[in-house]
Amino acid sequence: MAKHKVEITGIKTTNLHVLQNEETIELLKKYKESNDNLLLEKIIMGNMKLILSVIKNFANRCDNQDDLFQIGCIGLIKAINNFDIQFNLKFSTYAVPMIIGEIKRYLRDNTPVRISRQIKDLAYKSLKAREEYIENNHQEPDNNTLANLLNVETSDIQEALNSTQSIVSLYDTVYGEGDESILIIDQLKDETQSNEKTINYITLKDAVSKLNDNQKEIIKNRYYLGKTQFEIANEFNISQAQVSRIEKSAIDSLKSFFY
């Protein structure tokens, strides 16, 4: 496989037509009204390069790009079926984390991961250095900064942090732990339109509507826009601790609707 090219069996990826966001949104409106599979196919094909852009980043974790592509398609279809036009969000902004999450779940569940002791040690040192840097400088360090502090290569920092990184995004585990978790995406309607999914979707929307303005803003920025607590704190000119407290109170409120 070429370094900067993804080859997928049976698909000429270089000839794919890419839909603009406005075109995608218009087709999504029509598809959700008609449930026409031809429209679904057109949306999928027009956004196929989102999958290709994602799976390039996982090339070193899976030898079979066709498998990753198929899993990415599942993520894209979920994004299409779950996307709410009222979010006023670019479709790609919503779909890419969905595709990433689906691929990460697949790799987590199907790939035996063996992390060396050396990488684990560097990961621990990186996290400790990160905490100390934040405490002293009141901002998060980038990987280059951590690499300089620990006198290692930036790529080593990236590898070490990736080895410990759990899937954290709007489109995966939002809050809770293990079987107690509540997932935003799992609560949204999907193509099965099962009663349970529909009820959960309605419940979640109702729960969010009951949050106060501050809670809504924090949840929106954390889980819909994917910002860190530090980014939100800087944007709203409040402390990270305040963001954390508001986020926790919002999560507790949302969870109460599901018990």
Written as one string, the DSSP assignment of 60-106 is: GG-S-HHHHHHHHHHHHHHHHHH--GGG---HHHHHHHHHHHHHHHH
The ranges of the chain with pLDDT < 70 are 1-15, 60-63, 87, 109-117, 163-202, 258-259
CATH class for domain 13-110?
Answer: mainly alpha
Q: How high does pLDDT run on average in the chain?
A: 76
Retrieve residue 70's tokens: 């198929």
Question: What architecture is the 167-259 domain classified under in CATH?
Answer: Orthogonal Bundle (1.10)
Q: What are the residue ranges spanned by the domains of the chain?
A: 13-110, 114-165, 167-259
Q: State the DSSP string of 111-139.
A: S-----HHHHHHHHHHHHHHHHHHHHHSS
Retrieve residue 186's tokens: 């799992």
Other Cβ atoms closer than 10 A to 140: 15
What's the one-letter identity of residue 232? I
Direct distance between the N- and C-terminal alpha carbons of the chain, in angstroms, rounded to an integer: 50
Retrieve residue 122's tokens: 């560097």
Q: What is the pLDDT of residues 109-148, one digit of tens each?
A: 665 545 566 777 888 788 888 888 887 887 888 889 999 9
pTM value > 0.85: no
Retrieve residue 166's tokens: 């759990």
- Looking at residue 148, its pLDDT comes to 92
- Looking at residue 31, its pLDDT comes to 92
In order of 81, 147, 156, the CA distances from 123 in angstroms are 37, 11, 9
- Looking at residue 12, its pLDDT comes to 59
Give the closest residue to 49 by CA, choosing from 73, 32, 83, 29.
73
> Matching CATH topology for 114-165 and 167-259?
yes
Q: What is the largest CA-CA distance in the chain?
A: 58
Name beta bridge partners: 182.
175
- Looking at residue 161, its pLDDT comes to 77
Name beta bridge partners: 183.
173
- Looking at residue 43, its pLDDT comes to 93
**Alpha-carbon span 105 to 183, nearest angstrom:** 14
In order of 6, 8, 69, the CA distances from 2 in angstroms are 7, 12, 16
- Looking at residue 199, its pLDDT comes to 55
- Looking at residue 177, its pLDDT comes to 40
For CA atoms 131, 244, 214, 201, the dihedral sign is positive
β strands within the chain, DSSP E? 173-175, 182-183
Q: Which fold has domain 114-165?
A: Arc Repressor Mutant, subunit A (1.10.10)
